[in-house]
Structure 1
Amino acid sequence: MKIKILILSLVSGLTFAQQKDSIKNYYQELNALKERIAHLEEEKGKQETKKTENIIDRIKPGVVTIFRLGELDWNQNKMNPKIGHIQDEHYRFWSRIMMYLYMDTKINDKFDFRASILSHPYFAFGGNSDTKLSILLDELWLNYKLNENYALRFGRQDASRVWDNQIGEQFDFWKHDGLTLISHHKIKDFDLSGNLAYFVENYKDNASFRNQGKMYGFSLRLNKSTPSYDWKIGTGLIKAEQIPNRYYSNIGQYYYDGDLAPDYAIWTSQLGIKFKKMSNLSFNLDFYRNLKNYPQNPVSNLITDKQGNNSFSKEYRAEEAPDFSKQKTGVYANASIDIPLLKKDLNIGLSYLYMQKYAALDYFAQYDLARWAATNVQGPEIVIAYPINKWMRLRNRIFFTKDIKGYNAVNEDFLRKGNRGRLDLIINF
């Protein structure tokens, strides 16, 4: 019996020793396999890096073109601010085009670069030589990815990167020179972003950095996306100091944006929701409130006294002019839905804008409902858009607008009004 037990013990010991050696061999083979995989990944990375050394492989071009097939202004009026004479304006029709050409370059995992140009925003069909030949610098920036959560961008860029409810809807070519810091964080099912911006808006030759005209501020946004709905909520502050009353360009001798106060402190907030399973039914609400205190009307080209003089005239009498110093609140509400039509979705939207005189900077109130101003206007907008294919879509927009408050002391009850319609063919690839 003892001999049997001894034999079994020897056999078990030999078996365990063999299993131990096998496990050891498995570990050695596994480590060798890991080293082989790491080596292959390293070689693959070297090959990809070598492949992307060709600059052409790291450039992505793109084009956005808007053919304004027709723009019609009708049922518009105006008043002579000196004598109070009111007259109807003639109907106006024109067609124009804008092309935006950009080039994105992926320098490496940390840096990417954009350069873009666009045609003159008043590039009218049949226009004169000024608009036929004008090409403008649009964006020129360098982006640095600090880590997975933060990115820094320097150069000429779009302000909607920070304040996403400040996206232009007209031929908006105003970009801003400065620095932005963008952050993104995932908090369970929520996306949180916090953004900072500093832009030089009015460069003054030989002036100190402190005395340059500038715009700066921040924004916070919280988003959530589910299979059934998306929602977002945001807030922010836009500070502007020492900016000009009007931005002027020698190209075609046009004033593009104007009648600005020198300083602003605009609190902006946004709320939006989309129901994906209900034909993308969407609701958005933007609210603007200028926290800057104006003891009296800021300088203005549009506000006039009883003699029709504005504040740039030596004969201007401020005590006679309409008081706009408290006109600092704005609201923009929008609802839209997709309706199936011919195997695609026809998007129909209805918006209403109520933007008091100093609720927004003119070049941020880019809803462009009226030909004479971007603020101190109110009215609805109807939008109908239809995709032709992946790269092309048609869009029709109709505005019905009028002033919120009369500009002219000679007749403060007069509110300028007008209707505008646009038909655009948009090509994006």
Structure 2
Amino acid sequence: MTARPVVAPPEPWAFPAPQEHLLPNGVRLLLHDLPGQYVLSLRVVVPSPVAAEPAGQEGIGSMTARLLDEGTSEAGSEEFAERMERIGMVLGAGVSDGGLVVDVDVPQAHLAAAADLVRAALADPVFPEAEVRRILRTRLAEIEQERASSAHRASREFSRTLWEAADRAALPVAGTAATVGALTREDVVAHHARVVGPRGATVVLAGDLAGVPALEVLTGSLGSWTSGTQDAPAPSLAPVPAADRVRLVVVDRPGSVQSEIVVGCPGPDRSLASGWAPHPVLSFLVGGSPGARLDAVLREEKGYTYGMRSVFRPRVAGGMFLASGSVRTEVTAEATGLVVDILDRARDGFTPAELRSGVDFIAKTAPGRYATADAVADESGSLALEGLAPDFTTRNLEAVRALTLEDLDAAYRRTVTGEWTAVVVGDAAAVVPGLSERLGVPVTTVDL
């Protein structure tokens, strides 16, 4: 009889280390060589916090990003799209709280053509009037769709309740109907000139670079990107919590058969002095799997939900911790109370078995999470935007493996003080009485 093989513990894993270069225009270049990844992933990140958007123009950064591939002085909108299609290139652009992110995937053989198209899109977009109007209309329609989604509506109300009204974090990154509806082509052109340029930018390239003259190609393309009008990037500041954030808001959705619940509080970013390592483990243990504390009660024991999740969500500066999910209308009050109780009881501490489960999951699944070129490029670009070193992910995983129960408990208690901001999207007539009684706090009701 053949003996079963011995299963050995996995070897320690490290995030792929990049080669770092400086392009002629001062742009930082990070090259991650990943053998076998023949579709290359290119990222360009430009620090430009959305908090620096002019008052009344919130969302202009997102609109500008969406318009970058709508034509340049060299190629109109249709021709630009045709050039991308000919080389199998996929381009996307968006804005996070910290800045602009352009992401490109392209076959290895067409890197040079793709990089030059990216340079043209960043340096010389023409923002055709018709395309500007189309993108703005699309965003306005998108806002209406988000309003119809309980999860989106809850997220928007949560941010508006958690942060000071004057803080940019209280509004959606892509703006509101009022701010987007007031934008013009001239606003977009001025924003691009002010914000989008090589100053402070980082380019990341990940994939199989064997035989690819990546440094030469990128020096001749993105290394020649210039802007004479770009302002110095503004520093990212942590959002300010609202003075009255500890409360419950119900967004009335008459006739709704289920309620969306969000409970949370301010949280840290990944550069906090005490270390980021405990926080992904805590997310997993509290609400990161069907066996986590939230689902063990609300899904497995009570059958109230298909899933309740929790997460520490870092920003470039500051962040938030939240738990969210949907439940049946008739159990909304009890479910919301259970969420708060579970989150509060976690302050009493975690168990050795939980520690081992959480550490194993975060540390041992890392190779799978970063198995592709686009995942490596995304992480490397995020680190650059957050001002973190390229070896941060490796060092953080080492810290995860070394976590103790004391580390875990202390990190949770530092953030989770029991002062909760809660939002429920549902039928107010059906849920408000029970919520007031169950939670013992005033309930504010707002329209959908």
TM over 0.5: no
Shorter-chain TM-score bucket reads under 0.3
Q: TM-score, normalised by structure 1?
A: 0.22
Name the TM-score, length of structure 2 as normaliser: 0.22
Which structure has the higher relative contact order (CA within 8 Å, separation 6+)? 2
Please identify which structure carries the higher strand content: 1
For the pair shown, which has the larger CA radius of gyration, 1 or 2? 1
- Bigger share in helix: 2
